[in-house]
Structure formats: C-alpha cells, structure tokens
A and B are shown apart, each in its own frame.
Chain A
Amino acid sequence: MKWLSDRTVERLRVAAQAPDLAGTRYRLISHIARGGMGAVWLAEDTALGRRVALKILDVPDASGELAARLLREARILARLEHPGIVPIHDVGTLADRRVFYTMKFVEGRRLDQHLEHVRSLPDRLRLFQRICEPVAFAHVRGVLHRDLKPENIMVGPFGEVLVMDWGLAKILHDPAETASAAAPEPTPSAEESSASTRLPVSPVLPSVDASQPQTGHGVVLGTPGYMAPEQARGEVKRLDERADVFALGAILRFLLTPDAARDATIAPSPVRASSESAARPEAAGSAVPRALAAVCAKAMSPDPNGRYASVQELAADLSNYLDGLAVSAYPEGLFGKLARLFARHRTAVLLVLGYLLMRLLLLAWQRR
C-alpha cells in the first residue's frame, strides 16, 4: 500500500467532500475556503463561460435548518444589489439534495491580509469608508450583517471593497418583499427524492422566509471582539443598525492598531468586547490621533444609545476628520481647535505669518 503524504491526505479529504455537480451547468475547479456551515468552491459556469464561487452546505443538517439558512442568505444577497456586495447568480439543489448558490468569484485579499499594503492613515480611513458604504446600503434595505469583521471583507485588485458572508444577516423590515419571499414552494416528488447522480439540478428549494430572523432570542451568533455587547448577550430582538456600527468601530480599531485589535479579539467575552478601554486604540500605546480614537470609542460604546445612530453618521465623522473638520465624537478645546485649523490651512497660515514677519522686519528696519 502506497504511503500518502499529509498534503495528499488533505487533498483526498477535499476530493471526498467535493460536491457532485453532475447534471448542473457548473464544473468544479478547486476548493476555496470553508466557513462555519458551508464550503466555498471555485467552479466554472459552463453556460456563460465564467468562473463563479459556489457555496454549499457541508456539515450535517438533519433538521434542514442550515439549508434554510443558506438559502435565506442567498435570498438576502439577491435583494442587496450594490457594488460593495458580492452579487449572487444562481441558487439550487444538487442531486444529493444539498442546497447551493453561486456568486461572483472575487479575486482579492481579505482585509486582514490586505492591510500591510495600505500604509498611510488617510488611505486606511478611505478604505474604511468604502466598507461603510455597502453596510449603510444594506441597512437602508432593512438588513443587518451581524458578522462584520476583517475576514469578511474582501479587497479586489482594483481596490474595490466587498462585504462577504451574509449568513448571519438579520432582516429588520421591508414588508413588501417579505410577502414575495414567503411564497410557498412546491415540495419534492418521490421521483426527485430518489434522484440518481445524473439527474439535472432540482428546481425545488426549501421554503424559506427571508424576512424571518432564523436566530432565536438568547442565541449568540457572531465573532468575539466584533460583536456588540447586546449581540454577545444573545438579545436578538434588541439588535438594530447600531450592532453593525459597533462591529465597524472594531474594524476601524483593527485598521488603526491591527496588533492591539487582534489581542482584543482573543478573549471571547462580551465584557471584554464592551469595555471602553478595549475600544480605544490609544489604550494600546499607539500614536492614534485622539479624534480618531474618540470616533472608535463612540462607535464601540457598550450602550447602543452612546453609539452613532447610523453607519452614515460614523462615515460622516470620518469624512470630517479626513477634511480637517471637527468630529462629533471629540469635543475639542480652543488649543485643539487652533491646532486643527492650523493643520488644515497650514500653507495659508504659514504665508500669512511669513508676510506679517516680513512686515515687522521691514518696520523695524525703517525705524532704525
């Protein structure tokens, strides 16, 4: 019997887990990643001749709850058409009854991997603003992400930012679309149930109401360090846009002080995540400007009422910072205001000061 290397064993494991796409228009290329409930594969859409990312359930799901969640994620994505949200192409079930969906294949890096290529503070802040845009859009469409973190943000080769993994998303409102999403679906026939591997993809999908939160009250879903305290306590019904504002604050902290932010995410405690000191980047002894540290702290306030009311407000404060204007999170004194005005109008101030100095020198010389 041939001895297999660790690498070969891993490849065999991947091959054994590979979805059987026979009968579909997709051709399997390779494994991309594995998440909490599903695996993502690179596949080719043979009808359109393009590469797609195919997400499929790959954990036991006897109750069908996870399949419903995956399908719900697909339907949420379908209603969020935004350049910063990866578009979904197709949804279906395989011959083995597993639900899958295909989406645009994004070639890029995760935010945590991309960060080393973005050195300057203004560039990092502009990157952050681009992350805020799709999240703000989703909120307007009544969708909370609930799992925003650097690993779920992709940065494409042209600097485009995509917010990924909407598997934990929660629908807040939108009654008009609720009605259509809740439309009953037909059930599979006995013939389809005993489908051979060569059967075409079944159009039958589990009935899922995309508008209904799949998470029960008291259930904690999210990532420590990026979860708002109310989310970490499982207070699902209390969650609103400000839970995502908290996560964005944590991402901002990560952009400002990556090492300190990584340390802060190690302890999976809601108390740790909610503490003011953990939220403040300067607590790590970094040279983060106070105004930015205040923005971060406000976004990550343990009390939702202490946070920005919306992502737009958070993004506006950052725009103000980048434009050299005052930020709402940081009440500055007279000296601070002067220093900021000087920094913003440095050239003009230096020219005026130079002019005044020249006049003084001229005056002094004339008096002699």
Chain B
Amino acid sequence: MEEFFEKEWIRNLFSLALERLRAECEARGKAIHFRLFELYDLEGERKSRLTYEHLAREFGLAVTDITNHLAFARREFRRITLATLREMTANEEEFRREARTLLGVDPE
C-alpha cells in the first residue's frame, strides 16, 4: 500500500512539474524547447527512431540548437521538480531525503 501511495505521489509531483514547465516555457517564448523535451524524452515509443538530427530536420534547427534546447528543458524540469517538491514537503530534512530518493543527488 505504501508503495502505491509513493508511486502516486511521484506521479502527481511530475504531473505538476511538467505542467509548470509547459506554462513557463510558453510564457518565456520557449514552447519549442518544451515540444522537443516532450518528443525526445517523454515519447519513448518513438525514441528508438528519433535522433537529434531527425529533430533538427523536423524543426528546421541546427543539431547544436537541439542539444542546447533539450539541455535547457531538462535543467528547467529538474529545477521546477525540486521547487515543487519543496512545496510538497514539510521541512528541509524531508525535502532533501525525497530529493535524494527521486533525483539521486543532494539539491543545492
């Protein structure tokens, strides 16, 4: 039962973080960054066929742009996830513990 709640809690956290990332990217005129993140990192079924070169052709960008856009989206997703996690945890200790479990490293 505990495992189920833990899983649902993580699902909820990531859903919130993903929504916030989408909103933030759109607000900052970086909707394309979010779209690339969705296509490359989330839509796993297509990923085996999808390469940075494919994306570059599809979006009319340079491969280095794809690299940078994806790096930006991942970095932002991580930052937003940690910010959301901080809101959802009661204290600093719990926040750090959950961050370690979830992301593997100590939050800065």
Contact = CB atoms under 8 A, between A and B. Distances in A.
Contacts of B34: none
Nearest to B16: A1
Interface in A22-58: 22, 27-30, 39, 58
Given A27-B52, A58-B105, A60-B106, A4 B77 contact: no
Interface in A137-152: none
B18 A197 contact: no
B44 A62 contact: no
Contacts of B29: none
B18 A2 contact: yes
Contacts of B71: 20-22, 28, 197
B44 A11 contact: yes
B105 A16 contact: no
B19 A12 contact: no
B77 A15 contact: yes
A59 B19 contact: no
Given A4-B11, A15-B42, A18-B41, 5 more contacts: A4-B15, A8-B44, A16-B81, A96-B108, A98-B105
Contacts of B47: 30
A4 B16 CA distance: 10
B74 A59 contact: no
Interface residues of A, number: 32
A3 interface: yes
A275 interface: no
B77 A16 contact: yes
A29 B48 CA distance: 10
Contacts of B19: 1-2
A41 to B, nearest CB: 12
A79 to B, nearest CB: 29
A11 B17 CA distance: 14
B7 to A, nearest CB: 8
A20 B44 contact: no
Contacts of A98: 105
B72 to A, nearest CB: 8
A20 to B, nearest CB: 6
- Chain B interface bracket (under 10, 10 to 19, 20 to 34, 35 or more): 20 to 34
A60 to B, nearest CB: 5
A14 to B, nearest CB: 8
A338 interface: no
Given A1-B16, A2-B18, A4-B18, A15 B75 contact: no
Nearest to B81: A16
Nearest to B45: A7
B11 A16 contact: no
A12 B67 CA distance: 17
10 contacts: A6-B7, A7-B44, A12-B41, A13-B10, A13-B103, A15-B42, A15-B74, A17-B103, A22-B71, A58-B105
A60 B104 CA distance: 6
A16 B10 CA distance: 13
B10 A9 contact: yes
A357 B63 CA distance: 80
A13 B47 CA distance: 16
Contacts of A62: 106
Given A2-B18, A3-B15, A58 B104 contact: yes
Interface in A227-267: none
Contacts of B63: 27
Contacts of A61: 105
A12 B18 contact: yes
Nearest to A39: B104
A12 B16 contact: no
B70 A28 contact: yes
A20 B63 CA distance: 16
A161 B75 CA distance: 37
B57 interface: no
Given A16-B74, A21-B71, A9 B11 contact: yes
A16 B77 CA distance: 6
Contacts of B54: none
A35 to B, nearest CB: 12
Name, among B18, B42, B74, the residue most crowded by chain A CB atoms within 10 Å (CB to CB): B74
A60 B15 contact: no
A9 B15 CA distance: 8
A76 to B, nearest CB: 24
